Amino acid sequence: MQKVNQTCIEGNEDLHTIVMLNCGATIDLAANLSLTPSLKCLVFDSHKPVHINNVHGSEIGSSQVFIVKDSSVSEETVPTELSESEEEEGSEDDEATRKRKRERREAHEAKRRRLIEYNAFNYYSCPCSMLVYWLARELDRCDNEVLWLCAVGVTDQYLRAHISDVFYASCYTELAAAVESLNLQTRIDGMDDRRTGEGTSALGAIQQSFEPRFLLYRFWSLYESMVRSDFVVARFQLVHSRNLMRVNELLTKIGVSLKESKEP
């Protein structure tokens, strides 16, 4: 980050906007980048937790940093930074003063625990491709290219186990509806092309397809894809070599011989 700041940002008067894709949210950007009042930083990042200064600001000033948030990030869910307690005026023998100090210490301790819990683990939330898609949709700039890139990004996060099955199903439902909407006319034109025998208009269109959850299925043999797929390995417990017989039994049930399954 320091190298990027020195080579691309410092002294660059023509630069007015920095867009960060899937990076930047977990560090204090105002402290690491030479941001000026005319320079804005827009962050799309699935990495969590978001640095508290990127949400609430800091003494350095982070009004130029804008985190594109999902439902897991808000000013209410992100704790603020700890500050030194102000000294209370009054005598130590004053009961009201002692009570205020005790309440403030308890609040300070609760805030400290919340901050520790917030920063305890690194995790992933909504894919940044989905955040970009939502922004493009709000600006009415959504097309098949944006939709395709979003689908690739969401699928990548799902295959890496960065998002849950439930969240992936939610994204899939939303993207499937968008695919249906944006590619309806393409399918109609394609039907007309088949009737007339003219060239297809389906080039560049997006269509749903259902494929088995086998790794590199289009490039490896069926057997190799199955035994190297995380889904099959976990389901059949293939960490034990004796359980490879389960794969053979499955192939037999679906009518595929072992020889055929190992052919490219």
Q: What is the structure's pLDDT at 185?
A: 58
Averaged pLDDT, 150-161: 90
Among candidates 215, 231, 137, which has minimal Cα distance to 178? 137
**Please, which residues have CB within 8 angstroms of residue 75's CB and are 6 or more apart in sequence?**
55, 56
Residue 212 has pLDDT above 70, yes or no: yes
The answer on pLDDT for 196 being more than 60 is: no
Q: How confident is the model at residue 217 (pLDDT cuts 50, 70, 90)?
A: confident
Cα 26 to its chain centre, rounded Å, is: 13
118 and 151 share one domain: no
Residues whose CB is less than 8 angstroms from the CB of residue 228 and which lie 6 or more positions away in sequence, other chains included: 215, 216, 220
Are 169 and 245 in the same domain?
Answer: no
H or E, element range at 48 = strand 47-48
Give 135-178 as a 3 state SS string. Answer: HHHHCCCCCHHHHHHHHHHHHHHHHCCCCCHHHHHHHHHHHHHH
Does the pLDDT value for residue 166 go beyond 90?
A: yes
pLDDT band at 88 (very low <50, low <70, confident <90, very high): very low
Higher pLDDT, 114 or 157: 157
pLDDT at 251 over 80: yes
Q: Identify the CA nearest to 39 among candidates 20, 59, 68, 13.
A: 13
Same-domain check for residues 178 and 148: yes
Name the token pair of 230: 């995380």
pLDDT digits (tens, 9 = 90+) for 21-54: 999 889 888 888 888 888 889 999 999 888 888 8
Residues 115 and 230 in one domain: no
Q: Do 209 and 176 touch, CB atoms closer than 8 A?
A: no
Is 217 inside a domain boundary?
Answer: no
The reply to whether 52 and 113 lie within a common domain is: yes
Domain extent, residue 41, equals 1-75+109-125
Are 5 and 20 found together in one domain? Answer: yes
The verdict on 43 and 137 lying in the same domain is no
Domains in the chain, number: 3
> pLDDT digits over 46-86, tens only?
998 888 888 877 555 457 888 887 776 666 667 776 665 54
Say whether both 14 and 71 belong to one domain. yes
What is the structure's pLDDT at 173? 93
